[in-house]
Amino acid sequence: MTQVLALMLWLAAAGAYAIVASDLCPSGAANTSAYAQGPAKEAGPFRKPDLVELVKLDPTIKLDIRYATANNFLGRPVYTEARAFLQRPAAEALVRANRSLRQKGYGLIIHDGYRPWSVTKIFWDATPADKKRFVADPSQGSRHNRGCAVDLSLYDLKTGREVAMPSEYDEMTERSQINYKGGSEESRQLRDMLRAVMQAQGFAVYEPEWWHYDYKDWRKYPILNISFSEIGRLTSSRVEIPRRISAAPFTELIRRANKLTDIALRHRACTCGRARNY
C-alpha cells in the first residue's frame, strides 16, 4: 500500500509539472512565438500568484474588455475571452473603490486587468517608436503582467453608460495625460474623482494615461504569461493526500512532491519567453 501511494504521489507531482510546462506556449490570441520567447528571469522572492476574477467579487463592476474585440489601437482582438483578473489584494481594493464610487452615483467599468506577457510583447512590436511610452517594454515586463495594474473608467449608475473623459481609452495623445487641462470641466472633474477614489485604496495613476492604475504591491508579484483559461491551475496544482489516509508516514514525500510543483509554477512565472514598466 505504501509503495502504491508513494507512486501515486510522485505521478501526481510529475503530472502537475507536465501541465504547467506544456502551458508555457498555450494556444490563444497571442502568437506562440511570443510565448516561446518569454520574459526575462527575475530573482524574487515573490508572493504566490492569486489571480481572482473581478466580476465574481463584485458583479456590479462592468466589463468592456477592448482587447477581446477589434475596438483597440491594434484594430484586432488579442484575447479570446472578455475577462478581467487581478491579484486578490488589488482586486479587493478595487471592489472597495467601486463601492465608494457607487455612493457618488458612478460605477467602475474595466477595460483590462491582468495581461499575459506575450500580449505585452505584441503591443510593443506593433507600436511606433514615438508612441512607446504608451506601452510597456517586454524586456522589463508590465505591471499588468503581474496582475497588479488595471485600465478602467466610470459609468453612470442612472444611465448605465460610460462617462465622457478628456480623451478616449488607449488614445495616444496629450489628452490622455492625467493633468491635461483641456476637455470639458465635467470630464476633468470625473477623471479627478476617479483618481482620488483609486488613490485612497492604494492605487497610483500612470500619468500619461488617466485610465491606468497600479496597485501598491506590484513589485511583490512575478511576471506571468498564462492565458485566462489557465489561471485556475496556477493556484490549484499542489498535491493533496486523500483525507482517509493518515499523512504522517508520508510527510517528507508530500513535501518533496509539493516542492516539485512549486518549482514548476516558478518556472511558469519566470521562464515563459527595460523604457517603461507599467
> 3-state secondary structure string, 71-126?
CCCCCCCCCCCCCCEEEHHHHHHHHHHHHHHHCCCEEEEEEECCCCHHHHHHHHHH
Domain co-membership, 216 together with 151: yes
Q: What is the pLDDT of residue 44?
A: 83
pLDDT at 38: 77
Residue with cell 485612497: 200
Q: State residue 232's pLDDT score.
A: 74
The low-confidence residues of the chain, meaning pLDDT below 70, are 1-37, 234-278
Question: Does one domain contain both 219 and 247?
Answer: no
Total domains present in the chain? 2
- Write out the H or E segment, with its range, that includes residue 220: none
Domain boundary among 193, 209, 225: 225
Q: Let me know whether 128 and 180 are in one domain.
A: yes
Q: What's residue 254's pLDDT? A: 53
Q: Return the CATH number at 53.
A: 3.30.1380.10
- Are 56 and 189 part of one and the same domain? yes
Residues 119 and 133 in one domain: yes
Write the burial class of residue 40 (CB in 10 Å: 0-12 exposed, 13-18 middle, 19+ buried): middle
Residues 54 and 4 placed together within one structural domain of the fold: no
Give the residue from 200, 225, 250 where a domain finishes.
Answer: 225
Q: 235 in a domain, yes or no?
A: yes
Helix (H) or strand (E) holding 109, with range, is strand 106-112
Assigned domain for 102 exists: yes
In a domain, 56, yes or no: yes
Tell me whether residue 12 is in a domain.
yes
Same domain, 187 and 160: yes
Active-site positions?
A: 209
Residue 41 falls within a domain, yes or no?
Answer: no
Query: Domain of 4?
Result: 1-26+231-273
Q: Is the residue at 217 inside a domain?
A: yes
In a domain, 132, yes or no: yes
**Containing H/E element for 17?**
helix 2-22
Backbone angles phi, psi at 49, to 5 degrees: -60, 140
Is 33 inside a domain boundary? no
Claim to verify: residue 57 and residue 128 sit in the same structural domain: yes
Does one domain contain both 65 and 186? yes
* Residue whose cell numbers read 490563444: 28
Q: How many Å apart are CA 201 and CA 199, to the nearest integer? A: 5
The C-alpha cell that represents 241 in the structure block: 493526500
pLDDT attached to residue 166: 98
Same domain, 117 and 191: yes
Question: Which pLDDT value is given to residue 259?
Answer: 63
Same domain, 139 and 77: yes
pLDDT of the residue at 144:
97
Q: Are residues 262 and 141 in the same domain?
A: no
